[in-house]
Amino acid sequence: MMMTRRQRRWGLAGSAIALAATALFILLALAALLASQPATTDGWIFSAYTFRILQFTLLQAALSTLLSTGLAVPVALALARSSHFHGRLWVLRLMALPMGLPVLVVTLGLIAIWGRQGWANGLLLSLGASEPISIYGLSGILLAHVFFNLPLACRLMVSALERQPGESWMLAAGLGMNSVSVFRFVEWPALVRILPGIAGLIFMLCVTSFTIVLVLGGGPAATTLEVAIYQSLRFDFDPPRAIALALLQIALTGLVLALLATMRRPEERISTLGGARIRFDGRTLAKRTWDTLWIAMAVAFLLLPLDAVVSAGLQADLGRLVTSAAFASAAATSLAIALASGLLALAMSIAIVRGRLTVAETQGAGAGAVAYGRILGATSSLVLLVPPIVLGTGWFLLLRPWGDVSRFAPVLVVAINALMALPFVVRVLEPAMETHHARTARLTASLGMSGLWKLWHIDRPILMTPAALALSFAMALSLGDLGAVALFGSSDFVTLPWLLYSSLSSYRTADADGLALVLGAVCLILAVVGTSGQDSNRSRRAAG
Q: How far apart are CA 480 and CA 523, in angstroms?
A: 7
DSSP state of 122: H
What phi and psi values does residue 264 have, to the nearest 5 degrees?
-70, 130
Q: Which stretch binds other proteins (CB under 8 A): 87-95, 166-174, 407-415, 443-451?
A: 443-451
Q: At closest approach, how far in Å is the CB of 346 from other proteins?
A: 21
Q: How far apart are CA 542 and CA 459, in angstroms?
A: 13
What SS3 class is residue 321? helix
Q: Which stretch binds other proteins (CB under 8 A): 257-265, 300-308, 424-432, 439-447?
A: 439-447
Q: How far apart are CA 93 and CA 155, in angstroms?
A: 9
End-to-end CA distance of the chain: 22
Please tell me whether residue 543 binds other proteins under the rule CB under 8 A: yes
Please tell me whether residue 542 binds other proteins under the rule CB under 8 A: yes
Please tell me whether residue 449 binds other proteins under the rule CB under 8 A: yes
Residues in region 343-372 near other proteins by CB under 8 A:
363-364
**What are the C-alpha distances in Å from 537 to residues 135, 324, 344, 429, 533?**
40, 41, 24, 12, 6
Q: At closest approach, how far in Å is the CB of 456 from other proteins?
A: 10
Residues in region 1-20 near other proteins by CB under 8 A:
1-2, 4-5
Q: How far apart are CA 427 and CA 474, in angstroms?
A: 12
Please tell me whether residue 125 binds other proteins under the rule CB under 8 A: no
Please tell me whether residue 443 binds other proteins under the rule CB under 8 A: yes
Q: Which of 48, 439, 490, 509 binds other proteins (CB under 8 A)?
A: 439
Burial class (CB in 10 A: 0-12, 13-18, 19+), 481: buried
Please tell me whether residue 445 binds other proteins under the rule CB under 8 A: yes
Q: How far apart are CA 511 and CA 396, in angstroms?
A: 31
Q: Which stretch binds other proteins (CB under 8 A): 21-29, 293-301, 382-390, 454-462?
A: 454-462
Closest to 484 in 3D by CA, of 229, 163, 187, 110:
229
Please tell me whether residue 465 binds other proteins under the rule CB under 8 A: no
Please tell me whether residue 450 binds other proteins under the rule CB under 8 A: yes
Please tell me whether residue 468 binds other proteins under the rule CB under 8 A: no
Closest to 316 in 3D by CA, of 508, 505, 524:
508
Which of 328, 438 has the CB closer to other proteins?
438
Q: How far apart are CA 150 and CA 302, in angstroms?
A: 10
Which of 18, 357 has the CB closer to other proteins?
357
Q: At closest approach, how far in Å is the CB of 461 from other proteins?
A: 4
Q: Which of 446, 491, 507, 539 binds other proteins (CB under 8 A)?
A: 446
Please tell me whether residue 378 binds other proteins under the rule CB under 8 A: no
Burial class (CB in 10 A: 0-12, 13-18, 19+), 376: buried
DSSP string across 442-476: HHHHHHT--HHHHIIIIIHHHHHHHHHHHHHHHHH
Q: Which of 255, 314, 371, 447 binds other proteins (CB under 8 A)?
A: 447
Please tell me whether residue 538 binds other proteins under the rule CB under 8 A: no
Closest to 279 in 3D by CA, of 171, 153, 189:
171
Q: At closest approach, how far in Å is the CB of 454 from other proteins?
A: 8
Q: At closest approach, how far in Å is the CB of 467 from other proteins?
A: 15
Which of 314, 455 has the CB closer to other proteins?
455
Total residues contacting other proteins by CB under 8 A comes to: 26
Name the site residues for other proteins (rule: CB under 8 A): 1-2, 4-5, 363-364, 439-440, 442-450, 453-454, 457-458, 461-462, 542-544
